């Protein structure tokens, strides 16, 4: 089953709407609550990243009996050093973003912690593609 959601750059007030819709779907599919929580936490972090850093993007969600694959594709500055971005506490977020309670530099590590598989492809000046996989059964 396939779902798609648009993410608008800088729209923090709506960051989280895709993850809450996905959450509802997963509850309806009788996925256990611990797994749902992992998926939603990972997706929310990823969604906020796109809102905060990119020019906008799309979430593609593919759900099968075995797994959920979430691909967040954005156009934007890209990540110059992915391994550094994976370190806890490393953040390039602006002071304004931090003031809103985002940008603590825990995003990617937290996604990795909650996902079964995380792949990041990024091209500086073009955009980033984050692929999150979580097993459902």
Partner 1 sequence: MDKQYFHHALKISEPNCIGCTHCIKVCPTEAIRVKNGKAHLFENRCVDCGECFRVCPVNAIYVDHDDFNQIFNYKYRIALVPGVLIGQFPENISTQQIYSVLVEIGFTHVFEIEHTVDILLEARNDFKIKNPDAKPLISTFCPAVVRLIQVKFPALVDNLILLKSPLDIAALYYKKLLTEQGIDENEIGLFYITPCAAKIAAVKSPVGEDKSEITGVINLDFIYNKIYKSIKQTGKDYCAVAQKDELDSKGILWSLTNGEKDNSLGRALAIDEIHNVIDFLEKIESEEISDIDFLELRACDESCAGGVLTSGNRFLTVERMKKRAKSAEDNQNAESCISKELAKYKNYLIDNMNVSKIMPRSMLKLDENMSEAIKKMGKMREIMDYLPKTDCGMCGASTCQTLAEDIVMKRADITDCVFIQRIMEQKGSMSLNEAVAKMKRIWGDKFNTK
Catalog residues that contact partner 1 under the rule CB under 8 A: 1, 16, 19-20, 23-25, 27-31, 33-34, 36-37, 40-41, 44, 63-65, 136-137
In angstroms, the first-to-last Cα distance of the chain is 16
118 vs 122, which CB is nearer to partner 1?
A: 118
Closest CB 135 distance from partner 1, rounded Å: 12
Closest CB 78 distance from partner 1, rounded Å: 26
13 vs 83, which CB is nearer to partner 1?
A: 13
Evaluated on CA atoms 96, 6, 55, 81, the torsion sign reads positive
d(CA 128, CA 86): 14
1 vs 83, which CB is nearer to partner 1?
A: 1
Closest CB 113 distance from partner 1, rounded Å: 12
Buried b (16+ CB within 10 A) or exposed e, 33-60: eebbebbbbbbbbbbbbbbbbbebbebe
């Amino acid at each position: 089953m396939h779902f798609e959601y648009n993410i608008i750059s800088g729209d923090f007030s709506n960051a989280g709407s895709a993850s809450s819709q996905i959450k509802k779907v997963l509850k309806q599919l009788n996925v256990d609550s611990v797994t749902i929580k992992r998926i939603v936490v990972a997706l929310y972090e990823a969604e906020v990243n796109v809102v905060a850093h990119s020019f906008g993007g799309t979430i593609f969600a593919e759900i099968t009996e075995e797994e959920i694959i979430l691909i967040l594709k954005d156009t934007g500055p890209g990540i110059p050093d992915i391994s550094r971005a994976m370190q806890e506490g490393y953040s390039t977020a602006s002071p304004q973003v931090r003031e809103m309670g985002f940008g603590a530099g825990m995003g990617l590590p937290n996604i990795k912690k909650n996902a079964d598989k995380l792949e990041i492809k990024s091209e500086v000046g073009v955009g980033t593609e984050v692929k999150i996989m979580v097993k459902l059964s």
